Structure 1
Amino acid sequence: MLASLIDLSAGLLLVLALRKPARRLFGAGPAFTLWLWPVLLGALPWLPMLPVSWHVLPPVIAMPAAFAASAPLAPAVSGSVPWMALWLVGAVLALLRLVLAYARLRRRCRPLPPELLAHCRHEHPSLDPRRLRLHPQGPAVLWSWHSLILLPADFASRFGTEQRALVLAHEQTHLTRRDPLWSVLAEVLSALLWFHPLAWLALPRFRLDQELACDERTLRRHAHDAGSYARTLLASTGMDAAPVLIPWLAEPQLKERLMMIRRDRTTTARRLAGYLGAVLFIAGVGLAAQAAPLANEPSAKATQDLQVNTRMQPRYPKASIINKEQGTVVLKVLVHPDGSVKTVDYDPKASTTTSANLIAAASDAAMQWRFHPAMKNGQPIESYALVPVKFSLHELPGTTTKDETEKMAAEMPQIH
């Protein structure tokens, strides 16, 4: 979870730094696609990694005789639990706010009057009349299963014929680009990241880049109407941004949108180069993240310091004995160059038990172990080792043969 948050934060910082240069070089459309980067970077830790060969050490045997009366019946409550509870409360409240805002907007939607519907059909024949609704916060687009175009009651009197056609073309472009869906996803992510200042800094800039990309695409189809488009914006009344709603004009966006209309000279080749660059970047980052474990694989393996580790055997939890829990817990141990244990992770794919008590007992013991670190060019290096910890209610210590150890290692050659 922490790795995803760090990667997502790095993605947000990257987009905030590059969005304006990308817009000037490649256009508003490619610049808007940069907002996919934070989401994809945040998802990288959850993607399957390329297989890595880890060094499997001989299994450690834990027996019931090894448990002490003071051993805990269950793993201790993690210090992250209160923070997770706080995040969950905040996320639920933020999502509830989003749902209530959406419900209020939907309640105020009404069918379009016949006269206004006739105007819209005449000025934009390709518009689906089933998507049109009367709403005091129009012109705007509202997400739904079939997203809606909201128009105010005075739409016909507020805008001239040419202006109405441009406004409708703009809103239709939003639907074509699936902007209402992207807007909802951005709102949901902001609600989940309610504690993150970068999320709230990014959201209004996401909305602006979305509008600029929509303007750019609309003007490519109505290039001769650029002047009228700018005058329509100047004659419009700005609205405050509302969750899940994309207004025709949000107050802070006017200056940027007028500047884009005046300066937009992006060629098709540059736009395509921008899209290609955005895709290649995230593809390269993904491949690098997946190949990272391969770069860290040592040429020599770390081995246990048995003189120390034999005194730090896992304690068989009393609760596990009562519940007759047994099986093998496979630990991924990251060994520091000084031989101490840096991190211990549970490998669910290679383990034969999911008992929280057994996993906690094995991990607690492993954190106290010592290793002879791997060597590279005569220097100790950070390295990994897989240590199977076998909890058995029947076997006696020392009964695992060399052949059984080799068989266990052979069954786990590739750990993801």
Structure 2
Amino acid sequence: MPTNDIAALPTTLLPSLLPALLRASVTLSVAAIAVFALRLPLRRCFGPGVAYAAWLAVPLCALAALMPAAPEGSVLALRGAPTALSFAATMRELAPVSPSMGVSGYIVMAWLTGALGAAALQIVRQRTYRRSLGKLTRRDGIAYTESLHAGPALVGLWRPIVVVPADFDGRYTPGERALILAHERTHASRRDPLANAAGAALRCLNWFNPLIHIAERLMRADQELACDASVMRRHPNARRSYANAMLKTQLSAIAAPLACQWQSTHPLKERIMSLNRTTPYALRMTGRLLIAAAMATGSWAAWAAQDTSKGELYDVAVKLNVDGAKSTPHLHTHGGEPASFRSGQGAQQWRAQLTLKPAGDGKMFISAIVTHAGKPVSKPGLLVALGEPATIKIDTEDKSHMEMELTVTQLPK
């Protein structure tokens, strides 16, 4: 770090978010593709509940990729294996972090704007759905809407309520009503509204990624099939009544981002056909164990595959002359990482960022971004030999002058 009147510059928050965003997005995509490929085989072999549980791997792997990486040289770390996460590393090199806004800052700003816009759209849709229910009349622990086309559904996150259409008592038989309520209460016991909220949040944060939009829709479909299967295990002789209740339920024209709607967008024929499939308990438990092991392995891989190598460590000895004021700071930095310093105060302050990249044959390429009074004045590049001094001289229109002599030496690890 620099000494005397030279102080290290903190990197700005927005550009520093870019590597984490890229890593999380790539990990989400890889995990989603894996679940796409496995959900149908899992459903056939172990039942819809196991296929639905597999979607938990998507956010878990993303969270694992955002955790601090394993220490370099750790036996837990994966090194040298080609993974999709290398794409994030490539993008980070194309849009490096800088003390000013830079390309990476604008990328993060665009992402944040899109995420806020997507969240606002989800809120509007949820409120529109809630208004479509009209005034709710509570009776016998359920809420009747004013509409004939809204519900049955489970609405709410923390204290969800079962919402049914105004003609619920007349449209369905007592047996069908009991099955519908069992279905919605199964959603409540499994905390499915919270899963829907998490899916909606991931869609907002990854508004630019079509894979996440597809994943959220398929997760909701698997959620309904898993709920159907759970109800059928408790009511094995009620398949015909359950199917009749599905056929009597109209598909709501207004989608609810957070609610669990009885008649989802999942193909009705597939839901009815799945009622005839029963998965033995032993297979369901085996599937759950396999999914738990796969999620643990995937999360570990997403965490351990992070690239923590920082390259060689270098010392940059600087002889600085700013308008006659001299100083001799030192910077310690890894190859490829920007190192920043400043000199002076107020409108006469100089700032410089240096990035070192090995060029082979004992040489180093130094790229610099120099600003004066908050404005960029020069972006010099130098090819220097290790241990040999190189000089950069800059003069501004207001007659200010900066000269820095740089000598780079490699430090032992």
RMSD over equivalenced CA pairs, Å: 4.0
2:124 aligned with 1:132: no
Change beyond 3 A, Cα 1:259–1:10? same
CA shift, 1:371, in A, is 7.3
Q: Alignment partner for residue 180 of structure 1, among 182, 189, 193? A: 193
CA deviation string 1:220-254 (max 9, x = no partner):
11112122111221222222433222211125431
CA shift, 1:160, in A, is 0.9
CA deviation string 1:147-186 (max 9, x = no partner):
1211111111111111111101100001001011111111
8 Å CA contact 2:46, 2:286 repeated in 1 = yes
| Secondary structure of 1:258 counterpart | helix
Matching residue of 2:164: 151
Change beyond 3 A, Cα 1:111–1:47? same
Amino acid at match of 2:137: L
Amino acid at match of 1:10: V
CA shift, 1:316, in A, is 6.8
8 Å CA contact 2:341, 2:353 repeated in 1 = no
Matching residue of 1:69: none
Which of the two has greater strand per residue? 2
Change beyond 3 A, Cα 1:106–1:242? closer
| Secondary structure of 1:141 counterpart | strand
Matching residue of 1:141: 154
Matching residue of 1:102: 126
Matching residue of 2:68: 48
Question: d(CA) in 2 for partners of 1:143 and 1:155?
Answer: 20
8 Å CA contact 2:197, 2:258 repeated in 1 = yes
CA shift, 1:261, in A, is 0.5
Which of the two has greater helix per residue? 1
Matching residue of 1:367: 357
2:39 aligned with 1:28: no
CA deviation string 1:22-76 (max 9, x = no partner):
100110011001111221222222123332259xxxxxxxxxxxxxxxxxxx845
Select the structure with the greater relative contact order (CA < 8 A; seq sep ≥ 6). 1
Q: Which runs of 5+ in 1 are unaligned?
A: 55-73, 122-128, 334-343, 374-395, 410-416
Question: d(CA) in 2 for partners of 1:20 and 1:79?
Answer: 41
Question: d(CA) in 1 for partners of 2:300 and 2:68?
Answer: 11
Question: d(CA) in 2 for partners of 1:33 and 1:232?
Answer: 26
Matching residue of 2:112: 88
Query: Which stretch has the larger CA shift, 164-173 or 84-93?
Result: 84-93
Amino acid at match of 2:213: W
8 Å CA contact 2:57, 2:298 repeated in 1 = no
Matching residue of 1:337: none
8 Å CA contact 1:8, 1:38 repeated in 2 = yes
CA shift, 1:193, in A, is 1.4
Q: Which runs of 5+ in 2 are unaligned?
A: 1-20, 75-97, 343-348, 364-404
Question: d(CA) in 2 for partners of 1:92 and 1:302?
Answer: 37
CA shift, 1:104, in A, is 3.2
Question: d(CA) in 1 for partners of 2:293 and 2:177?
Answer: 39
Matching residue of 1:78: 102
8 Å CA contact 1:49, 1:290 repeated in 2 = yes
2:43 aligned with 1:18: no
Q: Mapping of 1:101-120 within 5 angstroms?
A: 101-107=125-131, 108=133, 110-112=135-137, 117=139
Q: Alignment partner for residue 267 of structure 2, among 253, 264, 268? A: 253
Change beyond 3 A, Cα 1:150–1:302? closer
Structure 1 runs of 4+ aligned residues shifted over 6 Å read 301-304, 312-318, 357-360
8 Å CA contact 1:143, 1:184 repeated in 2 = no
CA deviation string 1:104-146 (max 9, x = no partner):
3344453425xxx2xxx4xxxxxxx2x6353532111112321
8 Å CA contact 2:187, 2:227 repeated in 1 = yes
CA shift, 1:361, in A, is 2.3
Question: d(CA) in 1 for partners of 2:321 and 2:250?
Answer: 69
TM-score scaled by length of structure 1: 0.65
Question: d(CA) in 2 for partners of 1:317 and 1:80?
Answer: 32
8 Å CA contact 2:317, 2:406 repeated in 1 = no
CA shift, 1:284, in A, is 1.6
TM-score scaled by length of structure 2: 0.65
Matching residue of 1:380: none
Matching residue of 2:22: 2
Question: d(CA) in 2 for partners of 1:206 and 1:290?
Answer: 24
8 Å CA contact 2:239, 2:275 repeated in 1 = yes
Q: How many residues align?
A: 316
What is the percentage of aligned positions where both structures have the same residue? 30
Matching residue of 2:294: 281
Change beyond 3 A, Cα 1:51–1:237? same
